[in-house]
Amino acid sequence: MTLLDLILNLAGLLVWLSWRSVKFDPLVRASPFSLAGALKRTEPAHFRRWYFLAALGALLSARALLYWQIGSAVNWVPHLRLGAISLFFRSDLPGRAGLFSALSFGLTVAVFYLWLLLLSLVNRRTADAEPVQRLVRLHLGRVDGWPWPVKLALPLFVTTLLWLALNPVLTGLKLIQPALSIAHRFEEAAIIGLSSYLAWQYLIGGLLLLSLFSTYVYLGSNPWWSFVNLTGANLLVPLHRAPLRLGKVDLAPVVGIAAVFFAGNLAERGLTMLYSRLTP
The pLDDT, as a whole number, for residue 31 is 44
Write the Ramachandran bin of 127: left for phi over 0, alpha for psi from -120 to 50, otherwise beta: beta
**Residues 154 and 117: beta-carbon distance below 8 Å:** yes
The pLDDT, as a whole number, for residue 36 is 41
Amino acid (1-letter code) at residue 98: G
The pLDDT, as a whole number, for residue 279 is 65
What is the rounded distance in angstroms from the CA atom of residue 33 to the CA atom of residue 52?
29
The pLDDT, as a whole number, for residue 34 is 40
Amino acid (1-letter code) at residue 110: A
**Residues 109 and 19: beta-carbon distance below 8 Å:** no
Mean pLDDT score of the chain, rounded to an integer?
84
**Residues 230 and 126: beta-carbon distance below 8 Å:** yes
The pLDDT, as a whole number, for residue 84 is 87
The pLDDT, as a whole number, for residue 260 is 93
What is the rounded distance in angstroms from the CA atom of residue 141 to the CA atom of residue 136?
9
- To the question of pTM greater than 0.75 for the whole model, the response is yes
The pLDDT, as a whole number, for residue 192 is 94
The pLDDT, as a whole number, for residue 152 is 94
Please name every residue paired with 86 in a beta bridge, in sequence order, or none if there are none: 81
Which residues of the chain carry a pLDDT beneath 70? 23-48, 219-220, 279-280
Number of Cβ within a 10 Å radius of residue 89? 24
The pLDDT, as a whole number, for residue 216 is 74
The pLDDT, as a whole number, for residue 268 is 93
Which residues in 121-143 are b (16+ Cβ under 10 Å) and which e? bbbbebeeebebbebbbebbeee
